[in-house]
Structure 1
Amino acid sequence: MAASGAAVRPARGVHRASGPTARPGTIVGVLATAGIVAALMQTLVVPLIGELPTLLHTTASNASWAVTATLLAGAVTTPVTGRLGDLYGKRRMLLACCVPLALGSVLCAVAGSITLMITGRFLQGMGMGVVALGVSALRDLMPPERLGSSVALISSSLGIGGAFGLPIAAAVAEHANWRGLFWAAAALSALVGLLIWLFIPASPTPARGEGRFDLVGALGLGAGLVCLLLGVSKGADWGWTSPATLGLLLTAPLVFLVWGRWELRSTTPLVDLRVTANPQILMTNVASIVIGLAMYASALIIPQLLQLPKATGYGLGQSMQATGLWMAPAGLMMMLVSPLGAKLSAARGPKVTLSLGGLVIAVGYGSFLALSGSTWGLLVVTVICNTGVALAYGAMPALIMSGVPQSETASANSFNTLMRSVGTSISAAVVGVVLAHTTVQTGGYNFPSENGFRTGMLLGCAAALLAGVIALLIPGRQGMPTSRKSRQ
């Protein structure tokens, strides 16, 4: 069944499971809500990080795992849920992702120890695949004329949820019991699951016996990602030359080499490396890594500048709640810009939109040099940067989906999402190193210096420009796919 009400013939070798029917607008609304709720999980704990050591009787180093656990879980499980979505149905896996989101939120709400908190945060990270699954489901469910704008909106939901999540979480943490944050997250996750059950139709799946899950490939990719991302994210805490950090970073490429050899020999790989080697897919994924690296610099730097004390001479002395409110308009801008990006992709091709997105992000970073002295100036910077992010986020899935068979849509989109996560993790490490090595002392405390912030933003600017150039090198003028038939 098609969301538009017209019959759509499933691709050869696939069958369509039973499921509800819904109008295209309802489908997009539900999937966008799911993406926003998933994004809320990432920012939910930010206002509590400084207080977790006291609340849960632990050290600051242990408390930081409440962030790291979600990052690792999301990176490792997103490609797995994508492949499972291609094999067993995207609606089914969307529902499955809601289970760890809700269960993890409940565990965090009742946590009396850091161990239980980290476990809950890990489970929340396991549900992050809903965005890539939602984007992929649109290819099966939406009329061709609505596909581009729908994909752009769902792709932007991560940024939208992140931008709105911070002020909401800060307000609740400041004026109510912190556990209420996680009870609310659990309720939202359950609500999203109910909406998916009621309104999202089933997608085509391979005929019985024609596909199997590559467990060895999943374990190999997970091991490589844990080594890479754990080394990158914890290197600053452990020391970049410590045996643990060096061991992880040296082990990661070896694991990926073995994993790649396995995937090339497998008849049903977790990630079809031959498809990802297609120049269009390869260059899009490379651009995604660099976009992730570029965009995350502002997310790390601007909140710090807003909250640093005015005594530093460049800090703006805002509370966590006020900081979130100053950054919220950037999320609204992503929502407004995403349909415009879809129209540009339809007219000029998504690689032009992706390149323009990188250029706009670079302009935002450049404007930081002149506007960083006031809250209103930083508001303008975040709005410009998120305009570019909205353009880029909407273009990347379009490029991926126009270059892969329909039977691999979710897997390919999930792998692309993973590439962005790798970029943001590298960005966090690089910016962290820059800020740690450029400090000033004010009132007996060490703070990152103004030059450190400027250097971090300039690095983000350079990365954004590089992403724009890479996007222009993507072969051909590809548009959104206009047929739901598999190209296998």
Structure 2
Amino acid sequence: MNSSRSTPRSTTMAFAALLLSVLSFSLLQTFVVPALPELQADLGAHATAASWVISAFLVSSSVGTVILGRLGDMFGRKRLMLVSLGILGLGSLLAALSGSVGVLIAARAIQGLGAGTFPLAFGLVRETFPREQVPVVIGTISAVFGIGFGLGLVLPGPLIDAFGWPALFWASLVLVLVAGAAVIAFIHVPAQPVSGRIDWAGAALLSIALVALLLATSQVRAWGAVPVTVLVVVAAASFAAFLFVQTRLSARSRVPLMNLRVLRRRPIVAANLTAAIIGFGMYGAFTLVPQLVQTPTGVGYGFGASTTQAGLYLLPMAVTMLFTGPLAGRIGPRLGWTTTLVLACLFGAAGFAFLAIGRDTAWAIASGAGIIGIGIGFAFSALANVVVAAVEPHETGEATAVNTIVRTIGGAFGAQAAAAIVTSAPLASTGIPDPVGYTIAFTVSAIALAAAALAALIGKPQAGAATAQ
């Protein structure tokens, strides 16, 4: 569909289909977090095994993002979007029927492989919408990715209370089916001939590297132990071999899994570095705020919130992301995407500083979350538009997938670092974390977001240079 043929109704319905597709995946990132205590009790799982319900999804989504994004560039993005949604649906069905923690972990790993919805959506935006609408649509889709992350902590409480934890996955399956039907009905793109071959060697090496790295990250507090050291060595060796294979394929004029020349472009380097730092900083809010507010008041801090109430503290974040994502899509072309990204990081830093200072006040926590939401909404939109503006249409899936991966890896490190900081000095009488740990963790996130603002400036066009920023 091009701008000459598209109608307001057709673009609106296509827009809705893409939003549903991205939301169906983004919700699953955090959907199980509020359910972990009930899952652990119901399935008789150890806390370590229960944590793999999250880790398995994180690891497999990192692999699925880049591979499905690249396959979409090669074989058609609508086709691969339906494949991604099919994988999500299969994983959701298996999770809903799980009778053991092992089956649930496997189901979550399958769900993670459906992560291609995000990069594929960006490619479909360029194929489906008039050029002048692309920044706003990308901004909104980027915001929905973050909103889903936040809503995944808000919505499960009432569902779990009413129907139990399997209801989370039945609801996910329904959303996936609706999204798939909408993509079939409303996404109309020309048939795309198959272009190139699948770089199986590159895909295997990258998968090994990402899995090893994220497994090592999940054990960050055991670094120095032999198993973790082995994982780090395997990750480094696999990344080195992957880069070697990609370089050789490019030299022979064959199509690699990743075009390293694209990833070396200045705006892409800046966007990926910034995404990694933003991921490191922002995951502190998602993981620590619910933990903080659910702390029993009897220990001297916290609010004794229920699972549902804890999610409400993050609701302002979801609301502000909803509005700032599209807003960034409108003001980004005027200010420049690099400037918009710098402002986003500064908003995020201010929000975390607010949390650090107002840790003991309910309104300050909710307000800080709202400010962080402004930063994240602007950041997700600006990052996506920086990447999309810097690449050709046939490179969109690959480039946006890599940006998503580095943010995920940064987030994995950030979540582990935040947890390590908070639990490093428990209160002697209860074993509950010392409240100072939360202040330090929020301060670290604020510093990280300020550093991300500096990293974003790397991509600022030089004077006199042509700019897509």
TM over 0.5: yes
Cα distance in 2 for partners of 1:109, 1:369 equals 38
Match of 2:74 among 87, 91, 105: 87
Verify: 1:31 aligned to 2:18, yes or no. yes
Q: CA 1:216/1:169 → structure 2, altered by over 3 Å: closer, same or farther?
A: same
Cα distance in 2 for partners of 1:376, 1:37 equals 30
Kept in 2, the 8 Å contact 1:167–1:323? The answer is yes
Match of 1:230 among 179, 193, 215: 215
Cα distance in 1 for partners of 2:296, 2:383 equals 39
Question: CA shift at 1:395, angstroms?
Answer: 0.6
Cα distance in 2 for partners of 1:331, 1:392 equals 14
Question: CA shift at 1:350, angstroms?
Answer: 0.6
Verify: 1:261 aligned to 2:261, yes or no. no
Verify: 1:398 aligned to 2:385, yes or no. yes
Kept in 2, the 8 Å contact 1:137–1:203? The answer is no
In the TM superposition, what whole-angstrom CA distance separates every residue of 1:401-449 from its partner, at most 9, and x where no partner exists?
111121111111111111110110110121122122122134xx31221
Cα distance in 2 for partners of 1:359, 1:475 equals 16
In the TM superposition, what whole-angstrom CA distance separates every residue of 1:145-184 from its partner, at most 9, and x where no partner exists?
1111100110111211122222221111122232222112
Counterpart mapping for 1:6-155 below 5 A: 23-155=10-142
Cα distance in 1 for partners of 2:17, 2:132 equals 19
Partner residue, 2:450:
465
* Percent of aligned pairs sharing the same letter: 29
Counterpart mapping for 1:181-192 below 5 A: 181-192=168-179
Partner residue, 2:229:
246
Q: TM-score, normalised by structure 2?
A: 0.95
Partner residue, 1:383:
370
Cα distance in 2 for partners of 1:87, 1:3 equals 23
Q: How many residues align?
A: 462
Question: CA shift at 1:3, angstroms?
Answer: 6.2
Cα distance in 1 for partners of 2:355, 2:102 equals 40
SS of residue paired to 2:427: strand
Counterpart mapping for 1:476-487 below 5 A: 476=461
Kept in 2, the 8 Å contact 1:3–1:23? The answer is no
Unpaired segments of 5 or more residues in structure 2? Answer: none
RMSD: 1.8
Kept in 2, the 8 Å contact 1:292–1:427? The answer is yes
Cα distance in 1 for partners of 2:4, 2:427 equals 59
Structure 1 counterpart of 2:203, one-letter code: A
Partner residue, 1:430:
417
Q: TM-score, normalised by structure 1?
A: 0.91
Kept in 2, the 8 Å contact 1:91–1:203? The answer is no
Kept in 2, the 8 Å contact 1:4–1:23? The answer is no
Structure 2 counterpart of 1:179, one-letter code: P
Q: CA 1:298/1:4 → structure 2, altered by over 3 Å: closer, same or farther?
A: farther
Kept in 2, the 8 Å contact 1:164–1:331? The answer is yes
Q: CA 1:371/1:254 → structure 2, altered by over 3 Å: closer, same or farther?
A: same
Q: CA 1:6/1:33 → structure 2, altered by over 3 Å: closer, same or farther?
A: closer
SS of residue paired to 1:256: helix
In the TM superposition, what whole-angstrom CA distance separates every residue of 1:265-311 from its partner, at most 9, and x where no partner exists?
11211111111011121111111111111111111221111111112
Q: CA 1:204/1:459 → structure 2, altered by over 3 Å: closer, same or farther?
A: farther
SS of residue paired to 1:402: helix
Kept in 2, the 8 Å contact 1:399–1:479? The answer is no
Cα distance in 2 for partners of 1:415, 1:421 equals 10
Kept in 2, the 8 Å contact 1:141–1:201? The answer is yes
Cα distance in 2 for partners of 1:73, 1:5 equals 39
Kept in 2, the 8 Å contact 1:90–1:203? The answer is no
Cα distance in 2 for partners of 1:190, 1:42 equals 18
Kept in 2, the 8 Å contact 1:398–1:479? The answer is no
Cα distance in 1 for partners of 2:130, 2:23 equals 23
Structure 2 counterpart of 1:234, one-letter code: Q
Partner residue, 2:326:
339
Kept in 1, the 8 Å contact 2:77–2:124? The answer is yes
Structure 1 counterpart of 2:416, one-letter code: A
Structure 1 counterpart of 2:211, one-letter code: V
Cα distance in 1 for partners of 2:198, 2:333 equals 35
Kept in 2, the 8 Å contact 1:140–1:204? The answer is no
Question: CA shift at 1:22, angstroms?
Answer: 6.4
SS of residue paired to 2:428: strand
Q: CA 1:472/1:456 → structure 2, altered by over 3 Å: closer, same or farther?
A: same
Structure 2 counterpart of 1:265, one-letter code: R
Question: CA shift at 1:318, angstroms?
Answer: 0.5
Kept in 1, the 8 Å contact 2:390–2:468? The answer is no
In the TM superposition, what whole-angstrom CA distance separates every residue of 1:50-89 from its partner, at most 9, and x where no partner exists?
1223211221111111111100110011000000000011
In the TM superposition, what whole-angstrom CA distance separates every residue of 1:241-283 from its partner, at most 9, and x where no partner exists?
2211111112211210111010111121111111101112111
Cα distance in 1 for partners of 2:82, 2:432 equals 44
Structure 2 counterpart of 1:391, one-letter code: F
Question: CA shift at 1:480, angstroms?
Answer: 6.0
Question: CA shift at 1:6, angstroms?
Answer: 5.5
Structure 2 counterpart of 1:226, one-letter code: V
Partner residue, 1:291:
278
Cα distance in 2 for partners of 1:260, 1:423 equals 20
Match of 1:348 among 321, 328, 335: 335
Structure 1 counterpart of 2:157, one-letter code: A
Kept in 1, the 8 Å contact 2:319–2:373? The answer is no
Kept in 1, the 8 Å contact 2:82–2:183? The answer is yes
Partner residue, 1:220:
205
Unpaired segments of 5 or more residues in structure 1? Answer: 8-20, 482-488
Structure 2 counterpart of 1:213, one-letter code: I
Cα distance in 1 for partners of 2:369, 2:323 equals 14
Kept in 1, the 8 Å contact 2:53–2:104? The answer is yes
